[in-house]
Amino acid sequence: MSQIGVPGIILLVILALLLFGPNKLPELGRAVGRTFREFKDGAREIIADDAPAKKKEEAPQQAVAAEPAKVEDKRLPE
């Protein structure tokens, strides 16, 4: 988008005004804003749902790593 520049943005705004009219542009802007907000909320939910699953995967690994240390402590002295 860095190649568009200010003249390109002005041209896009004029084109949007001609295509949709001044009355429809605010409605389109609100619809785009709602869409982005819903996408952002959905992404947060997916990330939040995925985080506990990772913790559950890590917990058994820690327990398995702790078990051999307990077994070594229980050996009979020679």
Structurally, the chain folds into a number of domains equal to 1
Q: Please give the distance of CA 20 from its chain centroid, rounded to a whole number.
A: 32
pLDDT range class, residue 59, cuts 50, 70, 90: low
Place of tokens 């559950």: 56
76 falls within a domain: no
26 falls within a domain: yes
Sequence letter at residue 75: R
Domain holding 26, by residue range, is 20-52
pTM as predicted: 0.46
pLDDT digits (tens, 9 = 90+) for 31-43: 999 999 999 999 9
Angle between helices 5-20 and 24-73 (to 10 degrees): 120
Sequence-separated (6 or more) residues with CB below 8 Å from residue 20: 28
Count how many residues are written for the chain: 78
70 falls within a domain: no
68 falls within a domain: no
